Structure 1
Amino acid sequence: MDTMSTDYYEILGVPRDATPEQIKKAYRRKAMKLHPDVATEPDAGEQFKKVAEAYEVLGDAKKRDLYDRGGDPLGGGMGGGFNGGFGAGGFDFTNLVDAMFGQQAARGPRSRVRRGQDALVRLDLELAEAAFGTTKPLRVDTAVLCPRCNGSGAQEGSKPVKCSTCHGQGEVTHVQRSFIGDIRTTSPCPTCHGYGTVIPDPCLECAGDGRIRSNRTINVKIPPGVSSGNRIHLAAHGEVGPGGGPAGDLYVELDVLPHEIFRRDGDNLEMVLRIPMTAAALGTEVEIATLEADLESADAEDTTATVVIPAGTQSGTRVALDGKGVPRLRSHGRGQLGVTLLVQTPTRLDTEQRRLLRELAELREETTIEGAVQKHSQGFFGRLRDAFAGQ
């Protein structure tokens, strides 16, 4: 084919100012249509060769520039053949696949040193640890740098050598003859697996990988106010990469365990306090333990709080203690400690107690009562439901 009289732009059906992406798309469309495996036209093979040659020229910036200036982009190669990346008398099938499917084949040897994978582990926390923050030891099983070869993968005194199969290129080319010429396909070298080098004397500790599995303990700092599902990001604490490459990151997912007294609701803590019927009627003050009581290092004055119960308190009443809840994550202040009061009616009375209660009922004219239906709010029954669920 005379390249000087060939209009490659016309063959691909693109304007002379077409972008590289437009040229690739045009070639991909025509190549898939004219490929010998799918085409039925008798001259499809010859058209396919023209399209491939056009893409070889227009798909390469230097060759395209030379062609646009009137030069010979194929360097005066064999008539009707392909030079450069397609080779004499054929074409590189790897380039065809790249163009048709938008893939970029690897070129040259790849490095043995690669970044390691990220790792995810889970850590259980007590409610007080999540609320006030702590530092916890965590056992992790990850790949670490091989201490024997320090990541090289080779025995002491040896080192990787150039692969004799691919001569250090990391890939090999296979040529297959067809009616449209020699088809060349490139693939990673089967001997060195694409590295371009082989390790004749692998390290006995890591078998040439440059890393080993190891259990280790790291200290994880937990900020105040975390909750279940939060993750702590520890950079470079994940898996060490192959060949002693840099470590990935470690993500610690937190799971806050249930507490026997307190239930967490966002930044608030909720608890249930049972009080006698007489205390509810007369009013009183009750000292309760706060969540700080679970901390060994807490000040004594912070471990208790006083709940003021007004006279005539009804069952289901919620008393809020501000600033006694959970510290807000990455912010200031704390939520409330909500105390839901459950009034307990005595189930066993002795003779004297029964007489006194009967006298009280007579004084209050409550010996005979009529049932009364009272409208209620959703919040009242919601608190009762939560309170009984915590029993």
Structure 2
Amino acid sequence: MAKRDYYEVLGLEKNASADDIKKAYRKKAIQFHPDKNPGDKQAEENFKEAAEAYDVLSDPQKRQRYDQFGHAGMGGAASGGGFGGGMSMDDIFSQFGDIFGGHFGGFGGFGGFSGGSRGGRRVNRGSDLRVKVKLTLKDIANGVEKKIKVKKYVACSKCNGSGAEDDHSKSTCSTCNGSGVVTRITNTILGQMQTQSACPTCGGEGKIITHKCSVCAGEGIVRDEEVITINIPAGVAEGMQLSMSGKGNAARRGGINGDLLILVEEEPHPELIRDENDLLYNLLLSFPQAALGDTVEVPTIDGKAKVKIDPGTQPGKVLRLRNKGLPSVNSYGTGDLLVNVSVYIPETLSSAEKETLTKLKDEANFQPKKSVKDKIFSKFRNLFD
């Protein structure tokens, strides 16, 4: 099922301000919060959808890519789920808890999210990783699978990321009784104010490690290498950033992994120049070829293509080869190959060549007609308008 437009999800116009986006997301999150809609799967999906939309539109760089490329610019649609892939409840509560002030979920008279074993505990999140991937025009035209080796933090294999030496090396925090948060009541002139914050004893995890893992020293993560397969969609562009959810650094003690951010770099083509989805090629003809006509070959992304040169072809003429360019990242068609005709004038001539051209110089057919002169002058003048 195709994703809805993020602006539509939050009920916003495309020129919405950052404050408008935050207010709209808060309204949707309150409306579809799991505690307010227990057991309602559709409300839960709407809750996740709103959070995903906010994640993109609240980030200026992500928003710019989304406005330019749509969902494909975020990577999700084009890679078969490898990029993006939606957000889990832990992602949402971990990343956006501060939007409501204090402990996430405690807004408007209903409590925080309590699904599964999460309770009110803080969930650690691993940091994101950034890598650069160099692509040829052929890679960009067809899409490509790349395997890269990344040095990163991974879950400790001995303790499975828990940080504890064994199953009996963790105990419930006595300060917060396992909730991960502490509540403080303050008397003010407006009455009693209740605030919640992460437990200072366990750091919001709800558990205390009594015997730390001997391999990771209780962190739950170790430094290692991982080979990651990246599926690059066709039509990406220089500077575009894709993301793979959960492929960044592992989080301490079984939290949420960070993301892998992939920055696209284009390798220059020896003969073709990219102009958005079109490709440009400068075709250099000899004077006889331009005057008499010919059939020549021009380079394309996949090989060669034959082009017919009509007799009397003028320098500056552009020949268009339909659909020989690059595909749109949104699958909205393919660009063209534009062949710009140039005519080569020899810098030095042999005696025989000079004699031949001297005979032709005064021939009437080799002098430009007034209509041709006017056309050339008109083009020249337009350069300065």
Tell me whether the two structures share a fold, i.e. TM-score over 0.5.
yes
Contact 1:152 1:243 in 2 (8 A): yes
Of structures 1 and 2, the larger Rg is shown by: 1
- 2:51 matched to which residue of 1? none
Q: Verify: 1:289 aligned to 2:320, yes or no.
A: no
Deviations 1:114-164 (A, max 9, x none): 344444433221111111211111233333211111011011364212456
What is the CA distance between 1:105 and its match in structure 2? 6.2
Contact 1:234 1:249 in 2 (8 A): yes
Match of 1:263 among 264, 270, 273: 273
Contact 1:264 1:270 in 2 (8 A): yes
Distance 2:232 2:353 in 1: 54
Match of 1:111 among 121, 131, 135: 121
Relative to structure 1, is the Cα distance of residues 287 and 380 closer, same or farther in structure 2, using a 3 angstrom cutoff? farther
What is the CA distance between 1:103 and its match in structure 2? 4.8
Residues 328-339 of structure 1 mapped to structure 2, 5 A cutoff: 328-331=328-331, 333-339=333-339
Distance 2:275 2:334 in 1: 12
- 1:207 matched to which residue of 2? 217
Deviations 1:45-66 (A, max 9, x none): xxxxxxxxxxxxxxxxxxxxxx
Residues 235-314 of structure 1 mapped to structure 2, 5 A cutoff: 235-292=245-302, 303-314=303-314
Deviations 1:170-225 (A, max 9, x none): 6789999xxxxxxx999765543344432122113222121223331211112222
What is the CA distance between 1:346 and its match in structure 2? 1.1
CA RMSD of aligned residues (A): 4.2
- 2:88 matched to which residue of 1? none
Contact 2:121 2:178 in 1 (8 A): no
TM-score normalized by the length of structure 1: 0.57
Q: Tell me the amino acid that sits aligned with residue 313 of structure 1.
A: T
TM-score normalized by the length of structure 2: 0.58
Deviations 1:303-330 (A, max 9, x none): 2211111111221111111121112334
SS at match of 2:154: strand
Q: Verify: 1:316 aligned to 2:309, yes or no.
A: no
Distance 1:225 1:276 in 2: 35
Distance 2:271 2:292 in 1: 26
Structure 1's unaligned 5+ residue stretches are 1-101, 177-183, 293-302, 383-391
Distance 2:328 2:122 in 1: 46
Contact 2:102 2:195 in 1 (8 A): no
Q: Verify: 1:359 aligned to 2:323, yes or no.
A: no
What is the CA distance between 1:168 and its match in structure 2? 5.8
Q: Tell me the amino acid that sits aligned with residue 342 of structure 1.
A: S
Distance 1:319 1:173 in 2: 73
SS at match of 2:151: strand
Moved more, 272-281 or 211-220: 211-220
Relative to structure 1, is the Cα distance of residues 378 and 202 closer, same or farther in structure 2, using a 3 angstrom cutoff? farther
Residues 171-186 of structure 1 mapped to structure 2, 5 A cutoff: none
Relative to structure 1, is the Cα distance of residues 114 and 172 closer, same or farther in structure 2, using a 3 angstrom cutoff? closer
Percent identity, aligned pairs only, is 34
Contact 1:113 1:242 in 2 (8 A): no
